[in-house]
Amino acid sequence: MAPDESLAANVCALKTGYRHLDSARLYHSEGPCGESIWQSAIVRSEIFMTSKVFQGGYTETKAAVADSLKDAGLEYLDLYLIHSPYGGPEARKGAWRALVEAQKEGKVRSIGVSNYGVQHLEETENYIKELEKELGKGNAGALSVGQWELHPWMPRKDIVAWCQERDIIVEAYCPLIRGKRFNEPVLQPLIKKYNKSAAQILLRWSLQKVRFISPFSIPLSSWQ
């Protein structure tokens, strides 16, 4: 979206009840997200804002966090992710170390990754252990959240299982598949049976498939 469109969409979303804004350096969306928070007059602590650095490296990630805060006009971000595993092992390790430091400095609350494969996750896990030897136990950051495109046609079972074994929160992006599969035959009987939209059925799949969110499960028939 163009900045003005993004701002208008975010302001509308916050008025509707949304409380999580997901942005990224790559998308140039931090400014509109931050501005929408101030325009909404909602207390900052009630809104969860995420951003991401696209291609890591220690120096690049340090600069990215600073630029994210400046562009958003915020003192901290609730979650900061490494957007992708691009750049190679040293770049990924450097990015992680920079995020650990940003977290210690209070610039970000939680840190994690996005679009990582299992091999990248295991690399990060091993690097955290290495850092703990250098910095002390508990000082190397925690992989709190992993973000992937997740839906019935892209369940990523190996990644989800890996995260669940370690109590890492699995966050789905594009759970509605950009609206491109609402007419899939497999959805139609469920839409008819429960008298719900395709979007509701797909969101329900996410809630039931990702174990971390299951305590919030509500009978489908009670949805508004």
Q: What is the pLDDT of residues 70-110, one digit of tens each?
A: 999 999 999 999 999 999 999 999 999 999 999 999 999 99
Classify each residue of 176-199 as buried b or exposed e, where b means 16 or more C-beta atoms within 10 Å of its C-beta: bbeeeeeeeeebeebbeeeebebe
Angle, helix 58-72 to helix 89-104, in steps of 10 degrees: 50
Catalytic residue among 18, 27, 58, 127: 27
pTM: 0.90
Tens digits of per-residue pLDDT, 180-190?
A: 999 999 999 99
Are 121 and 89 spatial neighbours (Cβ–Cβ below 8 Å)?
A: no
Q: Residue 208: which pLDDT band, with cuts at 50, 70 and 90?
A: confident
What is the pLDDT at residue 210? 61
* φ, ψ of residue 164 in degrees (nearest 5): -65, -35
Mean pLDDT, all residues of the chain: 92
Q: Which of 103, 125, 128, 107 shows the shortest CA–CA distance to 116?
A: 125
CB distance 62 to 98 below 8 Å: yes
Tell me, yes or no, if 127 is annotated catalytic.
no
Domain segments of the chain: what residues?
Answer: 46-174, 178-224
Res 169 pLDDT > 70: yes
Distant-in-sequence, close-in-space partners of 34: CB < 8 Å, separation ≥ 6: 49, 71, 72, 73, 74
Contact 141, 96 (CB under 8 A): yes
Residues in the chain: 224
Give the residue from 196, 190, 155 showing the smallest Cα distance to 172: 155
Class of the CATH domain delimited by 46-174: alpha beta
What sign for the dihedral angle of Cα 179, 16, 216, 196? negative
H helical segments located in 2-156: 3-16, 30-40, 58-72, 89-104, 118-135
| pLDDT classification of 222: cutoffs 50, 70, 90 | very low
